[in-house]
Structure 1
Amino acid sequence: MEESKGKEDPRIARISSSIRIIPDFPKPGIMFQDITTLLLDPKAFKDTIDLFVERYKDKKISVVAGIEARGFIFGPPIALAIGAKFVPMRKPRKLPGKVISEEYSLEYGTDKIEMHVGAVQEGERALVVDDLIATGGTLCAAIRLLERVGVTVVECACVIELEELKGREKLSDKPLFVLVSST
């Protein structure tokens, strides 16, 4: 498994310090990782995108699949910079055309993630992007959805990893690259 970029790059400290922690949101006991403060810091936001682009620019990735909603913030600039298309992975009933979907488990119940039929082609190479990995359920569903149509998922990329929730373990053999680990 790929480990975090590490503290050797000074950009990581700036990114980490720009993420605001909101205690007890959206419910008691949750320490919410708020990336809106990162977005308010143009240098930290640019550093975040640059670190991902530096990593993926030479990996022959043709698809950047961004997971709703915050994967839509980081995915498009990465896709543009590496010359890939951006494919939104959405919650049910949000895409207007014909879709394929993949169900995944939540703490209480299930949810689905969808993408347009024909958005990706068999044989393409994809990067899956989200802001954060917690339990890994959404990333796993995105991987399964892409692989069902013959796409190779090269790696998953997240700004933040909540290590204590062990989402990385659910990804099995899929590499995960994160910039900031939160415990």
Structure 2
Amino acid sequence: MDEQVTDGALLSAVAQGSSAALEVLYRRHASWLIVRLGRRCADPAVVDEVLQDTFVAVWKGAGKFRGGDDAGAWLWGIAIRRLVDAFRRQPPAAYPLESAEVLGTRESAEDLVLLGVEHGDLAGALHRLSPELRAAVQATVLDGLTTREASRLLGVPAGTIKTRMMRARRVLRKELA
């Protein structure tokens, strides 16, 4: 398969069953996905599992891609959702820092934040945000997308993402104060 083919064209080919197109997508995107996932999860085995799950989801759902040639944001959205799913499958640690020390591993700051997002005060505050504000926070803060990537993912202008983030920060400050 030609390495110069756009990601959008590759995803169309994957949707039609081309494993060669999936292989090209994997070679193009796996390395940066591993790096970004690794920043959010200290366990390389979980990162590998999430990466595999991501490309299985791409294989099964490539026909759902509607973003032209901006496949990176779409792939990252799949990957981060798979990572959150992996965290949900793990039992919540009562004392994450102490349990990490006992096991001889270090949990990343992102691991601790995601635990707070799932189980702490932040979880309730996020759930009380309007769906539009919550989606902006999810895309930019939790998923790590740029404003432009979040804009494309959510189908709204970049300025709207910035405004929603400003409003969300204001609401969360009041909720968590």
Structure holding more strand per residue: 1
> TM bucket by the smaller chain?
0.3 to 0.5
TM-score (norm 2): 0.33
TM-score (norm 1): 0.32
Higher alpha-carbon Rg: 2
